[in-house]
Amino acid sequence: MINRRKFLAGAGASILAAASPISFSAFGAPTKKTSKSGRLNLSFFPYELQLRHAFNLARYSRTTTPDVQVQLEYDGIVGYGEASMPPYLGESVESVTAFLNSLDLSQFNDPFKIEDILTYVDNVAPNNRAAKASIDIALHDLLGKIMGQPWYKIWGYNPDKTPVTSFTIGIDTEEVVRRKVEEARPYKLIKVKMGLDKDQETINIIREMMPDVPICVDVNQGWTSKEHALEMCHWLNERNCLFVEQPFDKTMIDETAWLRERSPLPIIADEAFQRLPDIVRFKGVYDGINIKLMKSTGLYEAHKMVTLARALDMKVMIGCMTETSCAVTAAANLSPVVDYADLDGNLLIANDRFDGMTVENGKITLHDRPGLGIIPIAGK
């Protein structure tokens, strides 16, 4: 149960913290500060994510993901963020580093002016969505720590309502698929990557090993024929599949609308959109959207996307890239109000730097730590 008195004390203290020399430690305990007002100090470093298995999608394969880890410090309190850059999004360690080097966040002496800060960051240069997300995520972590509350509580979400998260099985040889299905046993939803010629074979292996667990399918733009796609949607519907993600190339709007009209399964957009204004044109084309912080430029806009999608009567999914528990836990704070979650990016890497949200009995489990709810793993 939420301790209302404690929450109000924390929220009130946040206002004080912004306006007075009293501040709060990373874990919510008040600490006396002698300096008057601080400045936002940004630091960052590249951190290559090592994937536990080669990641095979319809259009490419890889064993590492470039990533930049970010810290935003204010009055001795540190917020953590990150930019993860899977190749198809077009960002790199070099572009993120150049973008972050171009920022002057020391001009802001009040971290609660989140609208001013993030509008400034967004207007420095177009695109650079993962780089922008790294600042947004670190700022949210910092503000939550100053307020002494986790973000799901600040937004008023019920942590008991978190969904199950899917576990991803990529396109691979039968032997590897079987090994990954074993690994997926604790999960209550299996996400299957499709779009090559082994689609039905992969599903048949999973159904043989796990007859009852619901699956969802991510085609990653891999299907080209609308008739084949419709046939697959019917075939998958008979095999306890919940939805199909990004069946066609993102430019195939008419084909997607055609499929959506006839498919027994909801069609979810992923590669087809990045930012908030993109969603408006999806009414009648897709049934729902897969929000990822590295596309949305972070939590601030992702939170607005949930509201807009609901207003358009669309389903909402929260997803991730291969990321550390920093960005994955950031996204998990939004999960109590989504239909589906695909937050296994931290489980796919071998060198996580944070302890954050956990998956218990397949369900996303949020903890009571302030900010995003993460703590760095010592020595990483």
Distance CA 92, CA 141 (A): 24
- According to DSSP, residue 6 is labeled H
Distance CA 137, CA 164 (A): 23
Tokens of 173: 């040889």
DSSP 168-208: EE-S--HHHHHHHHHHTTT-S-EEEE--STTHHHHHHHHHH
Contacts of 211 (CB under 8 A, 6+ apart): none
Q: Which is nearer to Mg ion, 245 or 323 (CB)?
A: 245
Distance CA 207, CA 347 (A): 23
Give Dmax (Cα) for the chain. Answer: 69
Q: Which residue is nearest to Mg ion (CB)?
A: 270
Q: Which is nearer to Mg ion, 79 or 247 (CB)?
A: 247
Q: Which is nearer to Mg ion, 26 or 318 (CB)?
A: 318
Q: Which is nearer to Mg ion, 75 or 287 (CB)?
A: 287
Task: State the minimum distance, in angstroms, from the CB of residue 307 to Mg ion.
Answer: 22
Q: Which is nearer to Mg ion, 117 or 206 (CB)?
A: 206
Task: State the minimum distance, in angstroms, from the CB of residue 232 to Mg ion.
Answer: 16
- Residues at the interface with Mg ion (CB under 5 A): 218, 245, 270
Task: State the minimum distance, in angstroms, from the CB of residue 165 to Mg ion.
Answer: 14
Question: Taking a C-beta distance cutoff of 8 angstroms, is the pair 278, 262 a contact?
Answer: no
Q: Which is nearer to Mg ion, 86 or 371 (CB)?
A: 86
Task: State the minimum distance, in angstroms, from the CB of residue 268 to Mg ion.
Answer: 8
Distance CA 211, CA 222 (A): 25
Task: State the minimum distance, in angstroms, from the CB of residue 246 to Mg ion.
Answer: 6
Task: State the minimum distance, in angstroms, from the CB of residue 220 to Mg ion.
Answer: 6
